[in-house]
Structure 1
Amino acid sequence: MRWLALWLMLPLTATAQPSNEPLGPSVLDTGSTMVRTERFTLPAEAGAEHEIGVLIPRREAPAEGFPVVFALDGQAVLELLTDEALTALPALPVIVTLGYETDRRFASEERARDYTPPSADGRPVEDPRGRPGGGAAAYLGLLETEVIPRVRTLAPVDMDRSTLWGHSYGGLFVLYAASRPETPFTQYVAASPSLWWDNGSFLARLETQVDRWPGRPLTIHKGELERARASHPDTPDAQRLAQMRTALPEDALEGFVSTLAAAGVAVDYEVFPGLSHGETFRRSIRFLLEGMDGAKRSRH
C-alpha cells in the first residue's frame, strides 16, 4: 500500500538513538496542504520551554469534533509527519505534538525530567545517566491545566476520542497517566515503555494496583529484538543504564500485559517483528495513525 511505502522510506536515524544532528524544518515551519498548523510555547522551570504543535485537518470537522492524538517527543514525531506522509494516512485526526523548543530530535534532559514517575513516596528520582527525573505528576498536570485547554481553543477536538502516545520514557509516562484515577485521555498507547525505571520499582507498583486500574483501553507496543539489539556503550553512565535494563526479566512486559488482562483490563499487545527499541518509535506511531478510523467511541 502507498502509505506503508511512504512511512518505510522515512529516515531510520530519525527514530533510532538520540542524535545531536539538528532537525530540519517541519510542517509547523513549511505549512502543509493536508493540515493547518498552530503552535505555542509554555515556560518550563528549567531547560527548554515546552513547544506544542497542533496539526488540524483541512476538512470540515465532525459535529462532535475531530479525534485527537497527543504525541510525546513531539520534535521526533514532527520529523515523520511530512506532507506526503500525512496525505497517505487513511483518516487524519488532529495531532498534537508535545515537544520542546529545541532543534534536537530528543530533548534528553527535559524528557527524563517530565516523562518519568516519582518514587513511591513522591520524591524525584535520578535516572541512570544522572539526569533529574520523577516529574511525571507535574507534567501530567501541565497537560491537563495548560495544554489541553489551549488546544481546545485552537482546534475542534473530541476528547472522548483522545489518545495519549509515547515511546520509551514516553511509554513509561503513558502507563503512569493510564494508571491514574482521573486523567483526561480516553485511550493510551505505550510503546517500548522503560519498565526498568528506578530498578523496576514503578513496574512493581503498577502490578499491585491492576485490580484498581481505571476502565480505559490500553495498547502496548514492543519491538521483537529490543533486548537482542540493545546498544551497550562503554561510558559509566550508559553502563548503569544497561545494567538496570538487563536486570529486568526479558519477559517483564509480557508478564505485565498478562497481569492486566487477568484483572480484566482492556489491553492490546503488539510485537513488531525484527525491530529494535529505537526502530519501534516510528513503527508504533505509524501503526496508531494508520489505524485511526474516525469511529465514535464512548469514554470509559
Structure 2
Amino acid sequence: MPAFSTTEHLLTNNAGREYCLRVWRPAGIRPNARLGTLLFLDGHWLNDTLDEALSSVALDTVQIASLGYRVAERSILAPWRAYDYTPAGPRGLDSDPRKAEWPCGGANHLLDFLRQQVLPRLNTPDGADDPVTLFGHSYAGLFSLYGWLVAPALFKRIYAASPSLWWYWPHMLALLQARHPGSLLDIGNSTPVHLYIGSDERWRPLPAIPGAAREPGVSTIPFAQRFHSALLASGHPDNSLQILAGLAHGPMLHSAAQNALKHFISVQK
C-alpha cells in the first residue's frame, strides 16, 4: 500500500490574497511520473478529510491536491468566496444576491490564478500531464461549472457538489444554453461533468427586512435537475446527477469530496 507524501506551496494572487496549495503524491514516485490529478477547492476545510481518505488508497498513479485560503475565519472567508468563485452577475450586477456588501465577479481572475500559479505546480517538469480534474462545493461548485463553460479545455473532469445554482438563477442555466457550437462545444462535451446534491439542502435567502427570521427555504434539487436536463439537451454525453440521501448543505462538503475521490480513483485504474 503506497503512502502519500505531502508538500505545500504558499501562493499569493495579484490582489495580495494568500492561498495554500497542498499536494499529496505517492511516496517514492519519480519526479517525472505522469499522474492523474484531482484538485479540491476549499482545502482549508477538506485537508483533514483528504488525509484520512488517502490513508487507505493503494494506488500509485494519482496525485491529489487542495487549494485553500491561509485564513480559516468564516466571517472573512464568506465574502472572499462570494467574490472568487462567482462570475460577473447578469445585467451588470456586481454584488452577491444574499449580501449587497459582498462583491461578486472574480471567477475569471481565479481561473487566471489557476492557470498561472496552481496548475503548473501540478504538472511534471516536461508539462506532459493530462489536464487536472476539479472538485468544488457550494460557491466553489458554481465556479467549477463556470470554469468548464468558459474554459472547456482547462480541466479533464468536473465534480460540482451542491453548486450554488440559485445564484442569480437562471444565470448559469442561460450560460449553459448559450454555449456556441463548433470546436469549443466539442471540447466541452468531452469533459465529464458530475453533480452531487444533498436531499436535505435548502436555499434560504435573507429576508428584505433587517432582523427578520429566515424562512425554511426551498429545495435546491430542482435547480440541479434543470441544469442537468439542459446539459443533456445540449448533447453532452458523459454526465451524472447524484442525490445523496439525508444530507444538508454543510455535511455535503465532506461526503461529496469522499464520493468524488472514490470515483476519480475508480476511473484511474
How would you bin the TM-score normalised by the shorter chain? 0.7 to 0.9
CA contact (8 A) 2:119 2:132 kept: no
> Does the 8 Å contact 2:134/2:144 carry over to 1?
yes
Shift of 1:150: 2.6
Give the equivalent residue in structure 2 for 1:89: 57
Gaps of at least 5 residues in structure 1 are 1-32
Contact 1:64–1:158 at 8 Å: present in 2 too? no
Aligned to 2:266: 293
Provide the C-alpha distance between the structure 2 equivalents of 1:131 and 1:62, rounded to a whole number of angstroms.
42
Asked if 1:190 corresponds to 2:165, the answer is no
The residue type paired with residue 91 of structure 1 is L
Give the TM-score, by structure 1 length.
0.73
Higher normalized contact order (CA 8 Å, seq sep 6+, divided by chain length): 1
The one of 256, 259, 263 aligned to 1:284: 256
User: Kindly, what percent of the aligned residue pairs are identical?
Assistant: 29
Structure-1 residue corresponding to 2:243: 271
Superposed counterparts of 1:218-233, under 5 Å: 218-227=193-202
Name the SS of the counterpart of 2:134 in structure 1: strand
Q: 1:145 aligns with which of 92, 116, 138?
A: 116
Q: Deviations over 1:120-149 (max 9, x none)?
A: 477744341231121001100110112111
1:195 positional shift: 0.6
Q: CA 1:254–1:241 in structure 2 vs 1: closer, same or farther (change >3 Å)?
A: farther
Which of 194-203 and 139-148 deviates more?
194-203
Of 249, 254, 260, the match for 2:225: 254
For the 8 Å contact 2:37–2:63, the answer to whether it is kept is yes
Q: Which residue of 2 aligns with 1:22?
A: none
Contact 1:207 1:256 in 2 (8 A): no
Deviation at 1:95, TM superposition (A): 1.4
The correspondence of residues 61-76 of structure 1 with structure 2, limited to 5 A, is 65-76=34-45
1:97 maps to a residue whose letter is S
1:1-300 superposed matches below 5 A: 34-46=3-15, 48-60=17-29, 65-82=34-51, 84-91=52-59, 93-104=62-73, 107-120=77-90, 124-129=94-99, 130-152=101-123, 159-160=129-130, 162-209=132-179, 212=185, 214-215=188-189, 216-227=191-202, 246=218, 251-265=222-236, 266-291=238-263, 292-293=265-266, 295=268
Quick one: distance in 1 between partners of 2:143 and 2:123?
22
CA distance in structure 2 between the partners assigned to 1:173 and 1:240 by the alignment: 29
Task: Provide the C-alpha distance between the structure 2 equivalents of 1:238 and 1:280, rounded to a whole number of angstroms.
Answer: 28
Structure 2: which 5+ residue stretches go unaligned?
none
Matched residues, number: 258
CA distance in 2: counterparts of 1:294 and 1:249, whole angstroms: 28
SS state at 1:204 partner: helix
Aligned residue type for 2:109: A
CA distance in structure 1 between the partners assigned to 2:5 and 2:42 by the alignment: 20
